[in-house]
Amino acid sequence: MDIDLIEEKIKSEKVYDGVLLHVSKDTVKLPNGKKATREWICHPGASAVIPLLPNGNIILVRQYRYPMQKITLEIPAGKLDAPDENPLDCAMRELKEETGYTAGKIEKLTMIATTVGFSNECIHIYAAEELIPGEQCPDEDEFIHTVSVPLIEAEQMIADGRIYDAKSVTAILLLKNKLEKK
């Protein structure tokens, strides 16, 4: 089904090979037989986690995001450290590093493809509960402030544009939906 949509790679050229991102410029054969260029970014993937406190608040992190030139409000997240790293292990690590918490219970909510038009990045999103406080231990190049926000307020922050990070919007809305069904 839909086989008539598939593009066939003819050749691939590495444009940039960085620490995190790898950019390729591919020539493809379109379903109609014509050729086109596809520039795309290879990303190792990531995990994100929305920590839920017993009082119904969620833990978010504030950090400066250089590409946006802004301080953002997001759920804790980080890239997979190896191609075979278990996304759940990554989520648990990022929860500890960025918030100090460990989770007694963690559940996968979904996986999202962040920018399908030019990247293969996928983020696995988890919800963490039964949180045990500990000491925050961010990476040496990470500067993060944590904030506790009522879930209903986080939803309003999405509506008024204060939270616009795609993984965070997705996680907040999915968690709210899940809790409403209980």
Sheet holding 70-74, edge to edge: 70-74, 57-65, 145-150
Are 117 and 164 in a shared domain? yes
DSSP-assigned beta bridge partners for residue 149: 58
Does residue 82 carry a pLDDT above 90? Answer: no
- For 162: left if phi > 0, alpha if psi spans -120 to 50, otherwise beta; the answer is alpha
Q: What average pLDDT is seen over the chain?
A: 96
Are 100 and 116 in a shared domain? yes
Are 54 and 122 in a shared domain? yes
Instruction: Judge whether 35 and 52 are in contact, CB under 8 Å.
Output: no
Question: Pairing state of beta strands 122-132 and 46-51?
Answer: parallel
Catalytic: which of 85, 140, 142, 153?
140
Number of domains, the chain: 2
pLDDT-derived band at 137, boundaries 50, 70, 90: confident
| Average pLDDT estimate for 151-173 | 98
pLDDT tens sequence across 88-135: 999 999 999 999 999 999 999 999 999 999 999 999 999 999 999 999
C-alpha–C-alpha distance, residues 115 and 167, integer Å: 11
Are 27 and 110 in a shared domain? no
The CATH number assigned to the domain holding 109 equals 3.90.79.10
Instruction: Judge whether 168 and 73 are in contact, CB under 8 Å.
Output: yes
What is the residue range of 31's domain? Answer: 3-42
Establish whether 85 is a catalytic residue. no
Cα angle 81, 86, 91; round to 5: 75
Percent of the chain with pLDDT over 90: 92
Are 71 and 126 in a shared domain? yes
Does residue 182 carry a pLDDT above 80? Answer: no
Whole-prediction pTM value?
Answer: 0.94
What are the structure tokens assigned to 134, written together?
A: 């500990």
Instruction: Name which of 58, 91, 87, 95 is nearest 73 in CA terms.
Output: 58
| Average pLDDT estimate for 33-59 | 97
